[in-house]
């Protein structure tokens, strides 16, 4: 059963930026866009590059800096290849200033 895990403070995720966290051995990225927090796998499904490190957030998408794959951070779907497999998404919340991920 999934549980909510506090990984930091919500204000450490700046608008238009993403940061990765190790949650029980799983790399999960959290991004903020339009004031909304998005949680998703930090690992691109194309060649296993990190999305938060150098990825470009644009609206609800993030582009992998390695080969340009674009993913929808809300659904995990591939918007543009070369990746063909979606990324896992994770619920995130700002709980009184605490950044929490359900994993």
Asked if 62 and 18 count as a contact pair (C-beta separation under 8 A), the reply is: yes
In the prediction, which pLDDT does 2 show? 82
pLDDT at 1 over 70: no
Residue 97 has pLDDT above 90, yes or no: yes
Residues 24-77: tens digit of each pLDDT: 999 999 999 999 999 999 999 999 999 999 999 999 999 999 999 999 999 999
Contacts 24+ apart (CB under 8 A), 77-82: 78/45, 81/46, 82/46
Ordered domains of the chain (ranges, CATH): 4-102 (2.102.10.10)
CA diameter of the chain: 39
Q: How many CA atoms lie within 13 Å of 93's alpha carbon, on the beta-carbon side?
A: 9
Answer yes or no: is pLDDT of 101 > 90.
yes
The predicted model gives 79-100 an average pLDDT of 97
As to burial, measured by CB atoms within 10 angstroms (0-12 exposed, 13-18 middle, 19+ buried), residue 92 is buried
């Amino acid at each position: 059963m999934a549980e909510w895990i506090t990984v930091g403070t919500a204000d450490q995720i700046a608008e238009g930026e993403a940061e990765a966290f190790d949650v029980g051995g799983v790399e999960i990225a959290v991004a903020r866009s339009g004031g909304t927090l998005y949680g998703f796998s930090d690992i691109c499904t194309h060649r296993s590059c990190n999305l938060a490190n150098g990825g470009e957030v644009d609206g609800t998408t993030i582009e992998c800096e390695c080969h340009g794959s674009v993913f929808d951070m809300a659904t995990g779907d591939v918007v543009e290849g070369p990746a063909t497999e979606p990324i896992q998404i994770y619920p995130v919340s700002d709980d009184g200033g605490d950044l929490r991920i359900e994993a």
